[in-house]
Structure 1
Amino acid sequence: MTILLTLLISFAVFALIFWGLMHMRTPRFRVEREDFVRGLEDVITGQADDNEWRVLTGYPMRHDPELERLRLKCLEIEEEEYTGRMPYLFTDAGLERLREVREQLLTDGAGDDTGTAESDKKPKL
């Protein structure tokens, strides 16, 4: 009887663990615009290392097509201007191009907010 009870409890515990694993979601890493700007600023000012650059540009940004486009542009800049030396990971030309990406990101973000506010002001019929 004890063996049967032990087997039944063991089966119930394993079934519960299996059910829990089946319904668990995978963790997601999501870089928002503010995080991307902050990361670019760290690279531009020489406060980021190679690992931080890889985290910044290594994950696709499917949630924000414009941010994904800028991430790909950063990867293009990396191919041409990356040195990997500290404190500045890029050449002077590369840092200037990253500043342009940063400015574009800041102006695109400001433009989106203004456009949304204007569309909210339209009269409803």
Structure 2
Amino acid sequence: MALGLYLVVVLICLLVVGGTVGLLMMVRTPRYRTEPDHLLKLFDRVLAGQSTESEWHAIVGYPIRHDAFLEGVRRKAQQIMDEHGRPWQVAQGGSLLSRSGREELQTIRNQLASRIIDQEGKREF
């Protein structure tokens, strides 16, 4: 009787451990992929004075490897933050960027928006 109970417990443990290992081997690592819409929404929020520094860094601080144009936009945005960033004023209701930084970001935002429109136009044909 004790041997039978021992075998049942061992088999159940092997089944649980084996199932867990099998499940972990089949599940892929989740990946975050920054899309043009993510950057566009962030830029709009920054220009409207509604974004936080952590939101900025969560999107702009993550390299974009699947699209060279988007990576260039991300790098330009990061450079703007480095040169014109004022994160200490967000807590006081101010903007994340200085006036000249917002103007530069608006230019980048418009370029990105026009590229999105061009790509959508090409998909329709």
Alignment correspondent of 2:58: 55
- Report the Cα distance in structure 1 between the residues aligned to 2:111 and 2:57, rounded to whole angstroms: 21
The alignment of Structure 1 onto Structure 2 pairs a total of residues equal to 118
Query: Unpaired segments of 5 or more residues in structure 1?
Result: 121-125
1:81 aligns with 2:88: no
Alignment correspondent of 1:104: 111
Shift of 1:115: 4.2
Counterpart amino acid of residue 95 in structure 1: R
1:93 aligns with 2:100: yes
Show the 5 A alignment for 1:1-125.
Answer: 1-84=4-87, 85-86=89-90, 87-117=94-124, 120=125
Shift of 1:100: 0.5
Structure number with the higher helix fraction is: 2
SS of equivalent to 2:15: helix
Moved more, 69-78 or 59-68: 59-68
Q: TM-score, normalised by structure 1?
A: 0.86
Q: TM-score, normalised by structure 2?
A: 0.86
CA RMSD in angstroms, aligned pairs only: 1.4
Q: Give per-residue Cα distances to partners, 1:84-115, cap 9 Å, x unaligned.
A: 12130111111111001101101122223344
Identity of counterpart residues, as a percentage? 31
Moved more, 68-77 or 55-64: 55-64
- Report the Cα distance in structure 2 between the residues aligned to 1:58 and 1:11, rounded to whole angstroms: 43
User: Post-superposition, which runs of at least 4 consecutive aligned residues in structure 1 deviate over 6 A?
Assistant: none
Query: Unpaired segments of 5 or more residues in structure 2?
Result: none
